[in-house]
Structure 1
Amino acid sequence: MINSYAGFDDAGVAIAAAGAGADVVRNMYGQRLTRIDKGAGDFATAADVEAEKTILGVIHSARPDDAVLGEEGGQQGFAEAVRQWLVDPLCGTLNYAVGNMLVAVNVALRNGAAAVADPFSGEVFFTDGETAWTRYEGADVQLAPTSATQLVDVNLDPPFPSAPGFRAVDLLARPGFVERFRPRVVSTTLALAWVAAGKRAAYVTDGGDLSGSVHFAAGIALCQAAGCVITGIDGAPIGQAGRGLVVAADAESHGLLMSMIRSRS
């Protein structure tokens, strides 16, 4: 069998894998899907599983020696491998299951290329690790973050590991926040791609080290390559020292959000 991905660079593999997963998610949308209980109120659907299987098929075909960490299938290959792909086949499963189209397909090579596909808009946001682009109907446009929209997405999903010092919901009630920004809650890391693309001014979420998360790695890579300002909610660089994320289109927006977070903490 001819390997149709032969000759693809890593960005090309990420785009192809995310796009293939997005096709599955879009084609299975609206069906009555089996829910697979994952505990603590979390679940996957048959679409999550099928999309991940399809994504892994692309990666294994293009990069058979690379390791993969998938949200549904777990680790394949050595966890300490030099090259490891992080796959979230359907970010926003609850949205999807109730007929909400705000979802994303995330594929990232750790410390390298990444792609985030929106199955319903047809956009694929991607980076080669140096610059970031969006591909729509065959045309590529370089991403340009801006805070012009003044829209800030805030992740309100539990758990809340930084409480009581920090609760995202408290941020929304601060006078300084509503004077400058307007809150949005989409419950998917598609919002990170929107910050990189200038559709959102910022994104805030609690959590631990999210740099190696299958949910966040692709979005973080996009925002870094696009030139966004990124720290943890404690102001530390993302990684083991930082926790959660404050991602902003520019330094001014990031500084305003950090001042509100710090004053509350």
Structure 2
Amino acid sequence: MSSAEELLELALSVGHQAAALVRDHATRKVEVAATKTSDIDVVTAADRATEELIRRLIHHARPDDAFLGEEGDDLAGTSGVRWIVDPIDGTVNFLYGIPEYAVSIAAEVDGEVVAGVVIDVAKEVVYTGHVGGVAARNGVPVVVRPPALLAHRLIATGFNYTRPVREIQAAAAARLLPEVRDIRRTGSCALDLCRVAEGALDGYVEEGVHAWDHAAGGLIARLAGAETLVTVGAAGTEAMVCGPRHGFRELLVAVRSAGFLRE
């Protein structure tokens, strides 16, 4: 077993190599390789190649660890450590050439995420954190925004790729919008969570997320002073809420009242 700091060092080393591969793919014509939940929920060759690289590098360094990735089969392990990986969080942005996508790598020990790295690939910004340490952006510690009235908070969300779920989400967003400063939809859960961590957002809510979307970013946000909740969304799938700890209860009441979450 390694310390959280040592796991972070490995995640950071692997993450840099993965980000370099994504950048290389971005210089070529990006095409859809497959679809998942619907014909607009896409996978590119870069997603697959990047996850294969991450798997190979981590397995070489720690062959007894488990692995959970978005694009491949789960791998069991015996060490008590599991890696949770999204090779490109924000694939649709990547497909369209919008510079909002990230490599996300988290290390979990006995069910608790202890280290996380999120790399904003296009901007070459690196968010890191480990249990016992601080959240950082390019090595500089970050903290959440100070307290604000709900009406003065900038909230991020996202939309599912299946029509029935996004109809529910659109209605919830319409109900929340008059209650807050504004709503943003950037297309990357991992980056939205890191922006809560660095004080660029006041909160985040989305249904349809998975562990690989939020494991690393959620840890980084918590280390920066945020609270996170993984719960059930209004459509019955996994949802994440994140916001500064000092105003989290009010945010949670607001997104639940708007209809983002199951009662």
TM class by shorter chain equals 0.7 to 0.9
Residue 130 (structure 1) aligns with = 132
Residue 84 (structure 1) aligns with = 82
Residue 26 (structure 1) aligns with = 23
Partner letter of residue 128 of structure 2? F
Question: Which stretch shifts more, 106-115 or 150-159?
Answer: 150-159
Change (3 A) 1:264 1:71: closer
Which SS does the other structure have where 1:121 is aligned? Answer: coil
The structure carrying a bigger helix percent of its residues is: 2
Question: Which stretch shifts more, 183-192 or 45-54?
Answer: 45-54
CA contact (8 A) 1:154 1:168 kept: no
Change (3 A) 1:234 1:87: closer
Residue 252 (structure 2) aligns with = 258
CA contact (8 A) 2:31 2:95 kept: no
- Residue 206 of structure 2 corresponds to residue 205 of structure 1: yes
- Residue 97 of structure 2 corresponds to residue 99 of structure 1: yes
The within-5 A match list for 1:63-82 is 63-78=62-77, 82=80
CA contact (8 A) 1:156 1:205 kept: yes
Partner letter of residue 30 of structure 2? L
Which SS does the other structure have where 2:170 is aligned? Answer: helix
Distance, in Å, in 1 between the alignment partners of 2:197 and 2:145 is: 8
The within-5 A match list for 1:1-265 is 9-39=6-36, 40-41=38-39, 42-78=41-77, 82-110=80-108, 111=112, 112-136=114-138, 140-146=139-145, 150-159=153-162, 167-174=168-175, 177-189=177-189, 190-207=191-208, 210=210, 213-232=211-230, 243-252=238-247, 254-265=248-259
TM-score when normalising by structure 2: 0.80
CA RMSD of aligned residues (A): 2.7
- Shift in Å at residue 15 of structure 1? 1.0
Distance, in Å, in 2 between the alignment partners of 1:196 and 1:68 is: 26
- Shift in Å at residue 96 of structure 1? 0.5
CA offsets, 1:175-209, max 9 Å, x none?
x643532110011121111111111111101147x
- Shift in Å at residue 172 of structure 1? 3.1
Could you list the runs of 5+ residues in structure 1 that have no partner in the other structure? 1-7, 236-241
TM-score when normalising by structure 1: 0.80
Partner letter of residue 241 of structure 2? V
Which SS does the other structure have where 2:71 is aligned? Answer: coil
Partner letter of residue 51 of structure 1? T
Partner letter of residue 156 of structure 2? D
Distance, in Å, in 2 between the alignment partners of 1:152 and 1:169 is: 14
Distance, in Å, in 2 between the alignment partners of 1:25 and 1:170 is: 35
Change (3 A) 1:182 1:264: closer
- Shift in Å at residue 234 of structure 1? 6.4
Could you list the runs of 5+ residues in structure 2 that have no partner in the other structure? none
Partner letter of residue 12 of structure 1? E
CA contact (8 A) 1:105 1:118 kept: yes
- Shift in Å at residue 99 of structure 1? 0.9
